Structure 1
Amino acid sequence: MPDAPVILADEPGSFPHGVLSARHPALIRAVRDAFPYGPDRRHALEALLTSATEGVIEPLGTEDDVRWAQWGAREYLGRSWFEVPFLWSESYFYRHLLQAVGYFGPGPWQGIDPFRPFKLAELDSVETDEELAALDRLAGEPADARARALLHGSLWGNRADLGFRLSAPDASTAASGLVADDSDVLWSLLPCDTVCLVADNAGRELIPDLLLLDHLLTRRRVRRALLHVKAYPYYISDATTADVVDAVRRLTAAQGEAAAAGERLWTALAEGRLEVRAHPFSCAPLPYADMPDDLRAQFAEADLTILKGDLNYRRLVGDRLHPPTTPFADTTAYFPGPVAALRTLKSDVIVGLTAATEESLVAAEGRRWRTSGTHALIQVGP
């Protein structure tokens, strides 16, 4: 709700403070070491490292300053990274990182995704092989059981988030549990004509997202699927169009059911039954409540929109310290149509819990349950 406090990163020991003070410096070093950048790019990365931890927010020095001025930079330039809204400072950090590595050019590094080595390593991992092999075992299950398994695969795939692993490397093997489960409501909205899935991460998370869409298309639960990805590399794992192509190719290069799904997805893309979209607002530091009219119209095309992951959840309900019992429908009433969230909890934002659930989580884990990645939710509104 609009009167809930906006989340900042100025409290030492808090999750947002840890992201800015520890995760972002680790990411800069990882990117620096992943490419043979020349002295100019390496100097720019070192300057960003100093700025992000000790300095103040500075202009980009490009024509994109106009867009970011509209997105809040006029108010935040010259201030500490820790003293402005956490969603904004995270987003602006990644835009500065792309600037430092020369992504927007001109120059030889133009268009080179600085996170691509990490994404490809995930696709080529033993864990991915094991997950794809499991599809063969799933093929013999009843249709409803396969659907539930694929939904939960998409939900929990978020634990593969590369950025999260920088600060919690063992989270992917931790115990897990749903804190809210509206899956029955979600299934009740199907079949329908058009479903929209707003992707979060590439790699091992994007594959189960694609498998879920393949299932819906193949089983005629939907006629058409829209897959929204980022317009350019954003947070370390976030999926772009190139990552979609890499993921489908990874499937087609596998064996058995995975390869068959990859071939179907390739055909669906070629025929337009699965359409990839990448709106510039996908990389904005703003909540979806502020989406432009043309994006609102795109979401309105869908009978159901599914938003994946933690960042999309923060943008959907607002990156604020809502009371956890705030109804999910209240925070998403602005959305142009039915909307579902599939999210592994990795930040402080949470709504839609019962009082009993909140009390039991706090009693067992304090505040850690909000950010540990060991809990998840399926919520549907309005």
Structure 2
Amino acid sequence: MPDSAAAPVILGTTGPFPHGVLAERHPAIIRRVRDAFPYGPAQHRALDTLLHDCTEGTIGPLPGADRWRGWGLDRHLGQSWFDVPWLWSESYFYRRLLDAVGYFAPGPWQGIDPFRPFKLAELDGKETDEELAALDALGDDPDRALLHGSLWGNRADLGFRLSAESGEAVSALVADDSAGLWPLLRGGTLCLVADNAGRELVPDLLLIAHLLDSGRVADAVLHLKPYPSYVSDATTADLLDALRRLTAAPGAAARYGRTLWSALSDGRLAVRAHPFSCAPLPYAEAPGDLRAEWAAADLTLFKGDLNYRRLVGDRLWPPTTPFAEVTDWFPGPVAALRTLKSDVVTGLSPDTVAALDAAEGQRWRTAGTHALIQVNPSPSASA
């Protein structure tokens, strides 16, 4: 790993973007969740308390969440939400939100995903119909089309319909190591660490189905969240909703859906929901059983912005810091598909950074308009 002293951990006070998430986005999410279900007075009181605490209060206990004590809760008790690592306070917010709506407590609201209405509205929308219909005309390069569909997730204008000649796709990619990704898929195992549900999970599943059908991988392991951490993170229930959507669609989408259904049934596609997937910590602190699974794979592919932050460390790295250096700890070949939605970024050329800063200031890091494909085929830890 490079010298982390030169790259401070991002806090809630580190610039306008993380501060805005804590001060503005989280209260807005509380209000949306409150209106999405006919919660009773107890949930309303708990949500009101959370609304106060997340902007004006301090970090408090999490009853019944003993695992969080090992994840830094005792160390942060009594601190302002803005003065602890941003990754930690974000994760703590969503854990508190689930507590507030009764997700973990015995009772009628136990296990009810507070984000489910938003996920289903997106999954069942007409934009998804259009994206699935585009699968019938992928052309001669399905590898690239499906990889880019997974990369761009819910940006319909930059999904499966990207052609090899798309100038917009080329200019929007700030780093592209895709040429080094395909040789790592040698008919063995792929681990894919999913990001969001809905229209982002669907293209991830399509990519897996294509890799299984084409023989590029013999089996795959899909890592999901054990509970709905963050506002749209994919859980096993979201996987089932996505499979329903695919198998009910016409054309190629249904064929991919049947491939996935069959692969789940015969074990070629396995699902994991490891507790550490919801930890407020970087993946470098992952437990041994999770590291062992990554080490056994031909490639582990991390999807999305949050997973990228956890993979490289949620720090203000100089953007020219090599991706290979910040992932040198990883136990096997690793890749990231990520649309940029936060300040952390690595692996860019000096010319790319200079051009982006000159054209957009810092906005290119957080607006979701740029993306990267980065690969480290041989981290030192895997030797």
TM (norm. structure 2) is 0.93
Q: Is the 8 A contact 1:158 1:344 kept in 2?
A: no
- Aligned match of 1:170: none
1:13-92 correspondence runs (5 A) = 14-60=16-62, 62-64=63-65, 66-92=66-92
Q: Is the 8 A contact 1:300 1:337 kept in 2?
A: yes
**SS in structure 2 opposite 1:247?**
helix
Q: Is the 8 A contact 2:50 2:97 kept in 1?
A: yes
Over residues 132-155 of structure 1, what are the superposed CA-to-partner deviations in whole Å (9 max), with x where a residue is unaligned?
A: 0001112xx22xx11100000000
Residue 175 of structure 1: how far off its partner (Å): 11
- Aligned match of 1:235: 230
- Aligned match of 2:149: 153
Over residues 83-102 of structure 1, what are the superposed CA-to-partner deviations in whole Å (9 max), with x where a residue is unaligned?
A: 11000000000000000000
**SS in structure 2 opposite 1:19?**
helix
Q: Is the 8 A contact 1:158 1:343 kept in 2?
A: no
CA distance, structure 2, for counterparts of residue 337 and residue 192 of structure 1: 16
Over residues 293-334 of structure 1, what are the superposed CA-to-partner deviations in whole Å (9 max), with x where a residue is unaligned?
A: 011111112110000000000000000000111110101011
CA distance, structure 2, for counterparts of residue 245 and residue 137 of structure 1: 26
CA distance, structure 2, for counterparts of residue 360 and residue 27 of structure 1: 34
Which amino acid in 2 is paired with 1:285?
Answer: P
Which amino acid in 2 is paired with 1:23?
Answer: R
Residue 258 of structure 1: how far off its partner (Å): 0.6
Q: Is the 8 A contact 1:176 1:374 kept in 2?
A: no
CA distance, structure 1, for counterparts of residue 255 and residue 169 of structure 2: 31
Does residue 98 of structure 1 match 2:103?
no
Does residue 358 of structure 1 match 2:360?
no
CA distance, structure 2, for counterparts of residue 213 and residue 285 of structure 1: 27
Residue 54 of structure 1: how far off its partner (Å): 1.2
Gaps of 5+ in 2: 157-167
CA distance, structure 1, for counterparts of residue 185 and residue 193 of structure 2: 17
The count of corresponding residues between Structure 1 and Structure 2 is 363
CA distance, structure 2, for counterparts of residue 317 and residue 325 of structure 1: 13
- Aligned match of 1:255: 250
CA distance, structure 1, for counterparts of residue 258 and residue 96 of structure 2: 38
- Aligned match of 2:319: 324
Q: Is the 8 A contact 1:231 1:278 kept in 2?
A: yes
- Aligned match of 1:113: 113
Q: Which runs of 4+ in 1 moved over 3 A?
A: 173-176
Q: Is the 8 A contact 2:10 2:314 kept in 1?
A: yes
For residues 175 and 296 of structure 1, do their structure 2 counterparts lie closer, same or farther at Cα, with a shift above 3 Å needed? Answer: closer
CA distance, structure 1, for counterparts of residue 8 and residue 28 of structure 2: 28
Q: Is the 8 A contact 2:186 2:298 kept in 1?
A: no
**SS in structure 1 opposite 2:300?**
strand
Match of 1:6 among 6, 9, 34: 9
CA distance, structure 2, for counterparts of residue 175 and residue 216 of structure 1: 23
Residue 63 of structure 1: how far off its partner (Å): 2.2
**SS in structure 2 opposite 1:37?**
coil
Which amino acid in 2 is paired with 1:137?
Answer: A
Q: Is the 8 A contact 2:321 2:348 kept in 1?
A: yes
Which amino acid in 2 is paired with 1:269?
Answer: L
Q: Is the 8 A contact 2:176 2:372 kept in 1?
A: yes
Q: Is the 8 A contact 2:345 2:365 kept in 1?
A: yes
For residues 174 and 325 of structure 1, do their structure 2 counterparts lie closer, same or farther at Cα, with a shift above 3 Å needed? Answer: closer
CA distance, structure 1, for counterparts of residue 154 and residue 59 of structure 2: 30
**SS in structure 2 opposite 1:154?**
helix
Does residue 280 of structure 1 match 2:275?
yes
Over residues 245-282 of structure 1, what are the superposed CA-to-partner deviations in whole Å (9 max), with x where a residue is unaligned?
A: 11011000110111111111111111110111110000
Q: Is the 8 A contact 1:159 1:344 kept in 2?
A: no
CA distance, structure 2, for counterparts of residue 302 and residue 190 of structure 1: 10
Gaps of 5+ in 1: 161-172
1:138-287 correspondence runs (5 A) = 138=138, 141-142=139-140, 145-157=141-153, 159=155, 177-287=172-282
Residue 158 of structure 1: how far off its partner (Å): 5.3
- Aligned match of 2:160: none
- Aligned match of 2:129: 129
**SS in structure 2 opposite 1:81?**
coil
Residue 174 of structure 1: how far off its partner (Å): 12
- Aligned match of 2:163: none
Which amino acid in 1 is paired with 2:172?
Answer: G
**What is the alpha-carbon root mean square deviation over aligned residues?**
1.5
Q: Is the 8 A contact 1:151 1:212 kept in 2?
A: yes
Q: Is the 8 A contact 1:346 1:371 kept in 2?
A: yes
**SS in structure 2 opposite 1:18?**
helix
- Aligned match of 1:165: none
Which amino acid in 2 is paired with 1:324?
Answer: P
Q: Is the 8 A contact 1:174 1:374 kept in 2?
A: no
